[in-house]
Chains A and B, each alone.
Chain A
């Protein structure tokens, strides 16, 4: 069966541009998570959806970051006015509701020049 799919796998953009990263979770998984991983660091929590609603967005670093999941399946992470410090691998994970058992995609590598 298909795993979590993230597109694009690689995105290079210029400082100040707008970026969208897409996540297709495993079918039937109700929970969806976004994490960010910088080089040499562990995944850093950004936001968690249960169904269509953001249950916890405490990890979003500032108001340039926003995420949606309008139909409770696909999610999009949106970053406005990108900065060089936003460069990282953005990871998406979904879960069928079993505590802590997350299924991760391979990530979207964002490079801001």
Chain B
């Protein structure tokens, strides 16, 4: 079975500060890892993914994430937070073969304080 844990329900960061949203995963074999963002009254939007290669992946809106195989983690990061980054963030995982099912975490609400 595959699963994702997002240990923080809520993260508050001051505008201009770096931000980190944590994610750990469990999957059989090698993972494909994803971050999605959900703005109020909007559908989930794809942000970035790790498939293979460089452990640091870059995505939309200046976000990046670091894959750490030994710690089974895929934390989302941004060097300087904007108020407009305030949203609900979901980490997701699937195995790299066979199963197309994407399993999501419970989400982390990120609030950037002006």
Contacts and interface: CB of A to CB of B under 8 A. Distances in A.
A50 B4 CA distance: 24
Contacts of B103: 45
A43 interface: yes
Interface in A91-113: 91, 93, 99-107
Nearest to B105: A42
B43 A99 contact: no
Given A56-B99, A101-B49, A106 B43 contact: yes
Contact of A103 (B6, B46, B96, B106): B46
A104 B45 contact: yes
Contacts of A100: 32, 34, 46, 49, 92, 94, 102
A77 interface: no
Interface string B39-54: 0011111100101000
A96 to B, nearest CB: 12
B63 interface: no
A91 to B, nearest CB: 7
Given A31-B100, A45-B102, A56-B100, A91 B49 contact: no
Nearest to B103: A45
A43 B100 CA distance: 15
Contacts of B100: 31, 48, 50, 55-56, 99
Given A40-B106, A42-B107, A91 B101 contact: no
A45 B101 contact: yes
B74 interface: no
Contacts of B96: 99
A33 interface: yes
A27 interface: no
Interface of B: 4, 6, 32, 34, 36, 41-46, 49, 51, 90, 92, 94, 96, 99-107
Closest 4 CB pairs of A and B: A42-B104, A104-B43, A104-B44, A106-B43
